[in-house]
Amino acid sequence: MAYDRYVAICHPLRYTVIMNLRLCVLLILLSLTISVVYALLQSLMLLRLSFCTDLEIPHFFCELVQVIKLACSDTLLNNILVYVMNSILGVLPLLRIVFSYIKIVSSILQMPSAGRKSKAFSTCGSHLSVVSLFFGTGFGVYISSAVTDLS
């Protein structure tokens, strides 16, 4: 979505050429492939762990780190994998979004008309608010869980 907004603002006349069906399908397949590989990798890493007692987790969704804490076997490799992959999958998209918005803002500031600037900012406003909510909430949860783990 950040790339879509970047192309729409910075290259509006070439938008349909750049954002063709093939590129959209490739972006979707890339996202799907990364998600499936990450889920499969984490599932396979959980299968190698042994648990001390029969535990029943009463929720369909459970936090991976909390399940790893229940294991009796060595979980160092699992913890390293979780933190490395979460860092990569969290930081790289954020950097891509920040980079695209830097390019968008610099392109908007070069526009001569105030009306064009307003329209360009309103085009990106909804995406920017969703990204801010998503990453802000994620960082808030991460920081609050890190603080409770320390105390």
Lowest mean pLDDT among 13-22, 32-41, 95-104, 138-147: 138-147
What pLDDT does residue 146 have? Answer: 61
Q: Is 49 left (phi over 0), alpha (psi -120 to 50) or beta?
A: beta
Distance CA 120, CA 117 (A): 5
- pLDDT at residue 119 is higher than 80: no
Residue that is written with structure tokens 């783990």 in the block: 149
Distance CA 67, CA 81 (A): 14
What pLDDT does residue 13 have? Answer: 86
- pLDDT at residue 16 is higher than 70: yes
Work out the angle at residue 69's Cα, subtended by the Cα atoms of residues 68 and 74, and round it to the nearest 5 degrees: 70
What is the average per-residue pLDDT within 128-144?
A: 80
* Structural domains of the chain, count: 1
What pLDDT does residue 4 have? Answer: 81
In tens, the pLDDT along 38-94 reads 999 999 998 888 888 777 766 656 678 878 888 888 889 998 998 888 888 888 888
What pLDDT does residue 151 have? Answer: 56
Domain residues for the domain of 146 are: 2-150
